[in-house]
A and B are shown apart, each in its own frame.
Chain A
Amino acid sequence: MFFRMIRGAFVRQWKKMLMIALTIALGASLATAMLNVMMDVGDKVNQELKTYGANITVVPKTASVVDDLYEVEDGTSASSGAYLREDELGNIKTIFWAFNIVDFAPFIDTSAALYDGGEVTVVGTWFNHHLDLPTGEALNTGVHSLRTWWDVTEGEWLDEQTFSGEQGAMVGETLAKQENIHAGDTITLSTKHGSESFTVAGIFSSGDSADDQIYAPMDAVQTLSDTDGKLTSIEVSALTTPDNELAEKAAKDPSSLTISQYELWYCTAYVSSICYQIQEVITDSVASPVRQVADSEGAILEKTQLLMVLITILSLVGSALGITNLVTASVMERSNEIGLMKAIGAKNGAISALVLTEIILTGIIGAVIGYFAGFGFAQIIGQTVFGSAIEMKPFVIPIVAVLVIAVTLIGSVPAIRMLLRLRPAEVLHGR
């Protein structure tokens, strides 16, 4: 009988049930979409913030006496003789947080004479270098993705893999103007160790000192400066977690941590722990966070996440109230039916069970539809804003399920109790 009544309710009152299911579906889809977007927004924004370039620089330990100081004094670069080793570069992708290393590029700079004898700084680096890792994986990395703010005003980005011609180079805008260099020209750079000619692939404008420099493939610059297999610095762009107290303490001195703190720190993607891990794999190196990028990233990430959390809470409360409201309204509407059932002798328990089962069944149907609709909404947001899919977190399902059931119960129980208190004669009389 119980099931027949329930089935009857769904068959005969399908319109009403559809309305309830629709509202619950709307609420559930809102909750699903917002929860998913909220949980993924950190990763997505973190990716976007990579446009600011590297957040970690690695330099040789003993190079603390940086040539900057001497450059100012004598106008030439007097390298201190300390270098990083090129063959260790791949190690960066083998650290604990290797997955968080988005890009990296090695740098070696030297000064060379352009044809007319003018001294220029030549930076050897990777543009989009293909690298086979010791782990068997392969990746393409280099300055192309680390210098997103460069405007290539003439020609195009140097593509290391497909560049036809001898050797490519990219020239800064200021220098190009000064020396009247254009894309496609051939320039010859010479040092006391030899000379190399390059075909200019592109002219770039960067808005900083790189505008006066020439960027060339690393091998050629190493030949020019007689530093085969050596590097002056490495820039690393990594996805990091905003610093907290623990990270700050660890950054000063990792040995001051207790073992459990150390493990927590080492296994969290703080910029300081990633630096520490890079130092472990690159001999005699000092990896330090670029404060300008790392700190700002942390601040923006935190704010965005907090903003999304609050908007999510608002929409959760909104959808919860929406569902509660509709459920209350639709239960109250049934005063006649409940009065009649009471009049022919139904127990309060039986009536409550009947109404609740109906509503919860409708709620489950609505929630399932809503979950998938919400999945769709989350994908729309992800694709439109970030151009990539939003990852579906499995634990959103129980949260949405609990939310829907709780909200349905909260919406229906007080209404049912209120209706049960009414006297059947009055209700049926139509008051």
Chain B
Amino acid sequence: MTKQKMFLRMITASLIRRRSRMLVALLAIAVGGTILSGLVTIYYDVPRQMGAQFRNYGANMIFVAADTETGLTMSAAEEAASVIDSGDLLGMTPYRYETVRIHEQPIVAAGTDIESTKVTSPYWHVDGSYPASSGEVILGSDVAELLGLGVGDGFNATYSSGDDSDSDEPNLGVDMKVSGILETGGSEENYIYMSMEDLNALAGEKDSLQVVELSVSATQEELRGYADQISDTSGTVAAQLVKRVTQSESTVLTKLQALVFLVTAVVLVLTMICVATTMTAVVTERRKEIGLRKALGASDKSIIGEFMGEGLLLGGIGGLVGSVLGFVFAQLVSVNVFSSSITFQPLLIPITMVVSVLVTGLACLLPVRSTMAIDPALVLKGE
């Protein structure tokens, strides 16, 4: 009982009396802990966050009709998409293409869900604005140039159903207004985009889509799994990966992950050695104390025990402070770089504390042991 009390008193006394030195040691450990927990949190979060950035490339999976006879319907596509984890499915955009006539020119019109194109085609540059009300359309820039239309202009579109021999009663067409001009640098510039309702009004109701684009936050393997599962289970939907996007994403993402991993490893190893040397320096300074205690008859075990106790306490406190600061840092990075917050990993607190204690303990043990190997008389004499 008294022995334990003495032990505790010696540890606390050494921490309080040697305040400035202990502060230095604590600071060193806390810095180590901050770097450890901060970088590890970032390392685990980067793939997710970066993956979200890669969704800028747009859709990475498409649904087409498995059988051209039956076609593809929105309800079938939605059912097929239910296989995908709803948290991973970022957006799903249906497209129905019809050839319409504007100023007697044949133009391909796409009926779509304008809101969700913002997710599946985030790279679209729309001059003007996205359609806000019915009857408003986005014109591909090539079409706009061909027709000589600009933002705000109105035009009349007619639909010639498939082959002209059908001889429908002359249709008067629908009046539409250009709300924006689309620039992508790709083939989208040759189409006009309107809401599904507008296209239905223009070309007649038809529950048949050419393609559904999906933006899914998943790795290439997961995507392939989803695609196979969908193609197997659904009779009407064939899922395909947009290889250009998925393949390149997995290449680049692997590299980025490797980069963050290596950087984390290098920084951690160097920082831990740094912490260890500082602790060693702090302990080495107390050679005299060790010598004195040995001369007074303290056993090696009790001395090591006391130093370890100190190290444990310092390592624990430093690790705790460090893990909190590390989370703050990781959060700062996440908010600044990816403008999204990070989830707190409670497991990191004990891990950081254990690593800190281990590093501190090891750093204390070496100088203490080497001091004890020497004759106390020599140590006290200062040699």
Contact = CB atoms under 8 A, between A and B. Distances in A.
A38 to B, nearest CB: 9
Nearest to B26: A325
B273 interface: yes
Given A33-B266, A288-B185, A311-B263, A72 B21 contact: no
Contact of B190 (A30, A48, A68, A310): A68
A264 interface: no
Contacts of A23: 274, 277-278
A296 B123 CA distance: 7
Interface string B71-107: 0000000000000000000000000000100000111
A291 B38 contact: no
A52 B248 contact: yes
Which A-B residue pairs are the 5 nearest by beta carbons?
A207-B243, A322-B274, A296-B56, A149-B247, A290-B185
Nearest to A381: B262
Q: From A150, A325, A333, A381, name the one whose CB has the most chain B CB atoms within 10 angstroms.
A: A325
Interface in B21-53: 21, 24-25, 27-28, 31-32, 34-35, 38-39, 42, 46, 49-50, 53
Contacts, number: 229
Given A292-B185, A303-B338, A322-B275, 8 more contacts: A41-B259, A45-B255, A56-B185, A65-B142, A206-B243, A291-B183, A292-B184, A380-B266
Interface of B: 20-21, 24-25, 27-28, 31-32, 34-35, 38-39, 42, 46, 49-50, 53-54, 56-58, 99, 105-108, 121-125, 142, 145-146, 183-187, 190, 240-248, 251-252, 255-256, 258-260, 262-263, 266-267, 270-271, 273-275, 277-278, 280-282, 284-285, 329, 332-333, 336-338
Contact of B99 (A72, A315, A319, A385): A72
B263 A326 contact: no
A311 B284 CA distance: 32
Contacts of A293: 57
Contacts of B20: 332, 418
Contact of B277 (A37, A317, A326): A326
Nearest to A18: B277
B243 to A, nearest CB: 3
Contacts of A295: 56, 122-123
A314 interface: yes
B281 A333 contact: yes
A212 B252 CA distance: 27
Interface string A287-322: 011111111100110011011101100110111011
A292 B242 CA distance: 13
Nearest to A334: B285
Contact of B337 (A30, A303, A385): A303
6 contacts: A23-B278, A27-B270, A66-B190, A72-B99, A323-B274, A326-B28
Contacts of B24: 325, 328-329, 332
Contacts of A386: 255, 259
A206 B244 contact: yes
Interface residues of A, number: 77
Interface of A: 16, 19-20, 22-23, 26-27, 29-30, 33-34, 37, 41, 45, 48-49, 51-53, 56-57, 64-66, 68-70, 72-73, 148-151, 205-208, 288-296, 299-300, 303-304, 306-308, 310-311, 314-315, 317-319, 321-323, 325-326, 328-330, 332-333, 377, 380-381, 384-386, 418
A418 B241 CA distance: 68
Contacts of A20: 281
A93 B107 CA distance: 37
B98 to A, nearest CB: 10
Contact of A73 (B25, B50, B106, B329): B106
Nearest to B35: A318
Secondary structure of the B contact surface, majority rule: helix
B274 A207 contact: no
Given A73-B106, A206-B243, A314-B38, A64 B266 contact: no
Contacts of B50: 300, 303-304
A399 B34 CA distance: 24
A261 B26 CA distance: 52
Contact of B271 (A30, A45, A300, A330): A30
Contacts of B333: 307, 310-311
A304 B183 CA distance: 26
Contact of A205 (B123, B243, B258, B262): B243
B106 A149 contact: no
Q: From B38, B240, B281, name the one whose CB has the most chain A CB atoms within 10 angstroms.
A: B281
Contacts of B275: 322
Contacts of B46: 307
A317 B28 CA distance: 12
B27 A314 contact: no
A319 B271 contact: yes
Contact of B54 (A27, A205, A296, A319): A296
Nearest to B262: A381
B285 A291 contact: no
A53 B244 contact: yes
B99 A325 contact: no
Given A292-B58, A385-B262, A48 B255 contact: yes
A34 B263 contact: yes
B57 A321 contact: no
A406 B166 CA distance: 86
Contact of A149 (B42, B185, B248): B248
A318 B31 contact: yes
A137 B272 CA distance: 50
Contacts of B267: 30, 34, 311, 314-315, 318
A295 B266 CA distance: 32
A291 B255 contact: no
Q: From B183, B244, B251, name the one whose CB has the most chain A CB atoms within 10 angstroms.
A: B244
B165 to A, nearest CB: 15
Nearest to B258: A385
